[in-house]
Structure 1
């Protein structure tokens, strides 16, 4: 499909998830960059009337700058598919799987990608006894940006078993994923699609003085130091990049993704575990994908334009596939 510039891009941002403030920062950053590169941009703060607003805008492509539910879990992707609109990042099926940490394990582990063990527990089970030996991690099954993550240690001030009155994600979520705590270092690797297929942009280490890489550390300036590229052995860098690309491919990601790791450096390669793959990485000034892209020689403006054109390529490929399928049925 050929377009004459300026392409019209609707930047979808905001919404009502916990990550709304981050999405607004991402969305406005993307919109500013696209306008500076000559695109016509419509900014849409997503409400319940999103379908009507998209219909009225009639864009050539939608830049999905939403984070969390419903922008990252397949809901918006399904709507955009029904409307026949091209959109950035991953499609419906990939989004449904990747937002669910347990489904992600079921998809990736059989392909040789190591992830922590664990199981789903209800809050009632937590109040009766620990699901795993302490220390262990509790996290929501379907949230991003480390929202609602807690590390339960032997000296945690939450009781043993956990007291229902103690502050923690069990007060907000009926079910949680319990995983063994992996000591060590926080690493992350971004993947970007291109003409020659997906490529890793590099590996960043996230150095946190106190606590862990939670929502506050991710989006509060000065709370986390990004070491990019990570000062780690070359074989660990390569392994992170390989796992990130494989996760991107197995899950069927499009555009860009970011895979997060925990690495116990005392165990070498055997201590590296994938925690999750994020199909809608942040695009804020503190975000990791733009930072790694810059290290790879890709400016912020170039990055968002690449994602727009990749979205159009994927949309055209889907249309061609549907056309061939229809011809086969005729």
Structure 2
């Protein structure tokens, strides 16, 4: 594979630019350590020109949010005839839209919380999770249990997207299951110290514990991994990703599929890969190998 010139695409123009800058730099550094001829490209409107100018033969996508996870960069690379890491443009487009993802889960019998598309300010469930359909990193998400907070949550979420979704709030363990080349990696139990895994809990050091001791039985553990793989496949994903779920003691309710999860050395996918016995460099090389097999 080392005869390839790799372009790592990072940064970009989304609200998740800062996270992407860290992900891309970590992936770039790993590829350089592995001996790959690698270029680091900050995605902007001239990205196609930059990729051609770099002489890239394969792209490692470390973008998050709009233009990266919504399928647009993948569609452009398809037109350019360049292979790339992760899922294809269609799977990214589906997974980026929480409502489209829900529809695929329901169609493929993947357990997921009940949901509604809001048409008024009346709460559809006793406790609701209000979400913009096309945002990541927990941006604009609210958990509410009364009409006044529900109305305010809808107004705030609408600042981030014109398309909203309301889920029934399921109480249970918040779990994340990383997928790499068709295999479910060790499960991580997400334990936010203030009870809600929001943007602050996600990106403030010390606000959340991430533990591998899930307290699940062997049977439950395997079931949660199976459901995660089912969800990943239902969305049409390939290569790698991360599935978020709530386990209530009996059922594993899938919340969403992340097609381009964080890639810093402390991000959850690399943590899970490390628990499975991989170094960060080995994980990155597996992702690259997946791109070149397409």
TM-score by length of 1: 0.84
> What secondary structure is seen at the aligned counterpart in 2 of 1:66?
coil
Give the count of matched residue pairs. 294
Picking from 177, 201, 220, the partner of 2:185 is: 201
- SS in structure 1 at match of 2:196: coil
User: Per-residue CA shift, 1:83-137, capped at 9, x if unaligned?
Assistant: 0011000001111111111111111223221011112226xx3xxx223134201
Residues 1:161 and 1:313: Cα distance change in structure 2 (over 3 Å): closer
Cα distance in 2 for residues equivalent to 1:89 and 1:305: 12
Contact 2:245 2:254 in 1 (8 A): yes
Q: Deviations over 1:47-71 (max 9, x none)?
A: 1111111111121210000011111
**Residue in structure 1 matched with residue 250 of structure 2 by the alignment:** 269
* Dislocated runs of 4+, deviation >6 Å: none
Q: How does 1:155-170 map to 2 (within 5 A)?
A: 159=148, 162-163=151-152, 168-170=156-158
Per-residue displacement from partner, 1:144-171 (whole Å, max 9, x unpaired)?
22221111123xxx8366259x983233
C-alpha distance in structure 2 between counterparts of 1:24 and 1:89, whole Å: 18
**Per-residue deviation at 1:229?**
4.3
Q: Determine if the alignment matches structure 1 residue 42 to structure 2 residue 39.
A: yes
**1:148 has 2:145 as partner:** no
SS at match of 1:226: strand
- TM-score scaled by structure 2? 0.94
Equivalent residue of 2:219, what SS?
A: helix
Quick one: structure 1 residues 253 and 133, their matched pair in 2 at CA, closer, same or farther if it must change by over 3 Å? closer
1:287 to 267, 278, 285: 267
Deviation of 1:250 (Å)? 2.6
Unaligned runs of 5+ in 2: none
| Residues in 2 aligned to 1:227 and 1:144: alpha-carbon distance in whole angstroms | 22
Q: CA RMSD in A?
A: 1.8
CA contact 1:189–1:204 (8 Å) conserved in 2:
yes
Structure 1 alignment gaps of length 5 or more: 315-330
| Structure 2 match to 1:175 | 163
- Alignment partners' CA distance in 2, 1:161 and 1:260: 23
